[in-house]
């Protein structure tokens, strides 16, 4: 049985007591609020400061999780979820080395298509980072209807505003937990990376973070009429107007049920209704890709990465990869403006691939890979520090291969967590986890992950058990688009 002792820290809001694992020397402070509970008049509004508390607040168990619809039956086989009841779900968790002082800080922003996820997953346990001298913080934010609806009378991008508030809390308070407030690395995957791209595009990005790691999340945002499509469909399903007043009268659980109904069958690759960031003057004045290419965040070192086969998480388990007909494939080619030259390159790089596989590669490249390469190239012209990587190890589970999210057990160095075994199996290579986790830690410490930056030689690090012979198919595809 693990022996723990109480550890106490004082913040500007009050005193928190966490727990220390006596054997590992790792301190944990769980469920610490960074903003007031977003209930009653605070629903569908920007976050406000927490009022604080008297006495000592227990921080020894996971805090509440944001209201959300569950994953569908296929996704839930591979993507873990946690549900902790309570209203104070604008909270964060902290793992710190015993006796830490002035340690580098990493702030984790979870993914989940802006509709799912929380910081309470076992797979997001930050112990391995604390073991290696990092103060690791994982945050919650509002997701789904509560976080990304487009409603008359309500601000846009509420979940993004939560993330801003969490980073401001970390900058102000993390020294009390042994972290260096002048050395904060923002880290996000999937939708978490999308949120961080939006923060990086802000004029005040440098006040929130000093470095950033972004994995597999598109730097995208839509005009409000487009971003509002899912909200309007939910409102129609419920028979109410798409207004703050109407939605605020409906319990969060009923809103989530409606969301689940109208998004059935939607996927990031296959299409359908989904949440997106909305262009608005307050938080996202321009599409993040445009801002980054025009020089935003040039003073912030970036580590950006993606997986070789992002699409397989959605197309393979559902069987869509094998069922795609000629007409949908032709329409997709038109949508992505795929020339005959590009199509020949894709077919040559993937001989014998089914239409679904080719479409998956095209969609993944257009959503994530190509924007990432464009950002890296633009930053290179300004000498902005940028390191690029590809995760290429192929999971044997259910034909997932190097799919979206398979890399997470490696970067967290938690391959034995059931959350990640569902994606990578019980025999995933620990040596690769050692390498990838160490690269993230090194970047948080020094800004150098262990290979040369893009601005020097367009170097792309490949994480796999075997070194590739030359450029990978992913790199060749992306360079073909920019040729």
Identified catalytic residue from 88, 146, 173, 310: 310
Q: How many CA atoms lie within 13 A of 253 on its CB side?
A: 4
The yes-or-no answer on residue 237 being catalytic is: no
Quote the CA–CA distance of 157 and 437 in Å, as a whole number. 31
For 93, list phi and psi in degrees, rounded to 5: -115, 145
Quote the CA–CA distance of 141 and 226 in Å, as a whole number. 22
Quote the CA–CA distance of 171 and 183 in Å, as a whole number. 9
Q: How many CA atoms lie within 13 A of 343 on its CB side?
A: 13
The yes-or-no answer on residue 190 being catalytic is: yes
The yes-or-no answer on residue 404 being catalytic is: yes
A 10 A CB-CB count for 99 gives 9
269-273 long-range contacts (CB < 8 A, ≥24 apart) are 269/310, 269/311, 269/314, 269/315, 269/360, 269/363, 269/364, 269/367, 270/314, 270/315, 270/318, 270/320, 273/229, 273/230, 273/233
- State the DSSP string of 5-35: EEEEEE-SS-EEEEEEETTTTEEEEEEEESS
Identified catalytic residue from 173, 404, 417, 424: 404
Cα 192 to chain centroid distance, Å, stands at: 2
Helix (H, G, I), strand (E, B) or coil at 227: helix
Q: Which burial class, exposed, middle or buried, applies to 260 when counting CB atoms under 10 A from its CB (0-12, 13-18, 19+)? A: middle
Identified catalytic residue from 118, 190, 228, 424: 190
Residues with a catalytic annotation lie at 190, 310, 404
């Amino acid at each position: 049985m693990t022996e723990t002792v109480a550890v106490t820290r004082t913040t500007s809001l009050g005193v928190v007591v966490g727990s220390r694992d006596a054997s590992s020397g790792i301190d944990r402070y769980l469920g610490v609020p960074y903003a007031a509970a977003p209930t009653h008049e605070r629903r569908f509004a920007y976050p406000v400061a927490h009022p604080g508390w008297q006495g000592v607040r227990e921080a020894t168990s996971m805090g509440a999780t944001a209201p959300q619809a569950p994953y569908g039956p296929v996704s839930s086989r591979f993507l873990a979820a946690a549900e902790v009841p309570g209203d104070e779900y604008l909270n964060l968790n902290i793992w710190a080395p015993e006796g830490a002082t002035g340690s580098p800080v990493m702030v984790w922003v979870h993914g989940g298509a802006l509709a799912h996820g929380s910081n309470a997953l076992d797979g997001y346990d930050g112990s391995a980072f604390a073991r290696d001298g990092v103060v690791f913080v994982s945050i919650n934010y509002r997701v789904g209807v509560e976080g990304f609806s487009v409603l008359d009378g309500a601000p846009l991008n509420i979940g993004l505003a939560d993330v801003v508030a969490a980073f401001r809390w970390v900058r102000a308070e993390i020294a009390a937990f042994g972290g260096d407030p002048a050395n904060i690395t923002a880290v996000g995957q999937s939708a978490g990376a999308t949120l961080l791209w939006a923060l990086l595009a802000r004029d005040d990005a440098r006040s929130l973070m000093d470095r950033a790691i972004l994995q597999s999340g598109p730097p995208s945002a839509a005009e409000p009429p487009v971003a509002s499509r899912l909200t309007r469909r939910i409102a129609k399903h419920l028979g109410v107007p798409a207004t703050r007043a109407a939605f605020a009268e409906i319990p969060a659980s009923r809103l989530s049920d409606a969301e689940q109904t109208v998004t059935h069958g939607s996927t990031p690759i296959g299409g359908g209704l989904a949440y997106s960031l909305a262009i608005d003057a307050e938080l996202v004045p321009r599409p993040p890709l445009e801002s980054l290419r025009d020089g935003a965040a040039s003073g912030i070192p970036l580590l950006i990465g993606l997986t070789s086969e992002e699409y397989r998480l959605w197309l393979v388990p559902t069987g869509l990869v094998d069922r795609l007909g000629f007409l949908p494939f032709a329409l997709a080619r038109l949508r992505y403006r795929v020339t005959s030259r590009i199509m020949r390159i894709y077919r040559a790089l993937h001989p014998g691939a089914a239409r679904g596989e080719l479409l998956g590669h095209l969609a993944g490249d257009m959503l994530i890979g190509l924007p990432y390469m464009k950002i890296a190239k633009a930053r290179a012209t300004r000498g902005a520090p940028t390191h690029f990587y590809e995760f290429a190890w192929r999971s044997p589970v259910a034909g997932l291969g190097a799919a979206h999210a398979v890399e997470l057990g490696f970067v967290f160095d938690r391959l034995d967590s059931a959350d990640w075994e569902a994606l990578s199996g019980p025999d995933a290579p620990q040596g690769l986890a050692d390498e990838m986790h160490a690269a993230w830690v090194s970047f948080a410490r020094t800004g150098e992950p262990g290979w040369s930056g893009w601005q020097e030689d367009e170097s792309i690090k490949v994480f796999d058990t075997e070194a590739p012979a030359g450029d990978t198919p992913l790199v060749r595809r992306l360079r073909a688009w920019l040729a």
